[in-house]
Structure 1
Amino acid sequence: MRIRKKVAALAVSLTALTTLSGCTSLFGGLFSANSAHECMTRVMYFESNRSSPDGMLAVGTVVMNRVNSPQFPNDVCGVVGQRNQFASGVLTRQMTEPRSVQLASAMAQRALRGERHHGVQDAMYFHTAGLTFPYRNMHYVLVAGGNAFYARR
């Protein structure tokens, strides 16, 4: 009983510290979730080859298309964190290029405020440009940031 109370008190204290510090991911999501902005920044950073605002916005548009679809989780971090959908470790790997992090953060903010890449339309999928697959149910709509974006028919 004493141990449970101490653990509960520690959890409350750590949660309070992360809230007061303004850091929602200090403990890697153990006590609180990543913010939508952080998740969007990370997916843009790792999936757009850190190349261009155009490519990053296209990735962000796919994420938001998924958020708005009943087929996927209804929040950014839920979509980005889905297994086998985005780059391995997208929510945990270290982002090492400061300029690219800055650009991804700015583009994430734009996407979260409602800006969309007009060429992506309603596409909810993408893969590395140049790869080909034998599927007949893909309708390609755009190549941007090193990725080919498509909708399933």
Structure 2
Amino acid sequence: MKIQCWTIGKNNEAYVSPGIEDFTKRINRYYPFQWVIIAPPKNAASMTSEELKKQESKLLLDRLTKEDYLVALDENGRQMDSVTLADFVQKRANENCRQMIFLIGGAFGIHESLIARADYKWSLSALTFPHQLVRLILAEQVYRACTIQRNEKYHHS
């Protein structure tokens, strides 16, 4: 199974980049893993938040295939602890899922058309995090899930 993290926005900021790169290398020992950073639509600054979400959704829906297992990071999604996330990822691998995509939406969230396409809606926390920090948290949690699956020492339960 391949795992991708899709995000709308600009490249990683300097304060998170080394951490994301480190966890990306670590995850690649378990699963082929990559980041896909998608540029926001042109004229994004002149759009309303709803128009922007709709345009971002169109960009993303055009890239998805029917076989992709889409996990939308959404404040209204279900929360999981790290062990549950490890089980969740392992279950997708056991189901011969070809590709699992974790999606971080744009600044205003994810349009309902994309939420409707999602196979799972996941809330990292009830807290609000900066977009860049969500990338780092996601990378760390995917790595942690991999180590839990293999019963390695990284995760202390």
Compute the TM-score of the two structures, normalised by the length of structure 1: 0.32
More strand by share: 2
Higher relative contact order (CA 8 A, sep 6+): 2
TM-score (norm 2): 0.31
Q: Which structure has the bigger radius of gyration? A: 1
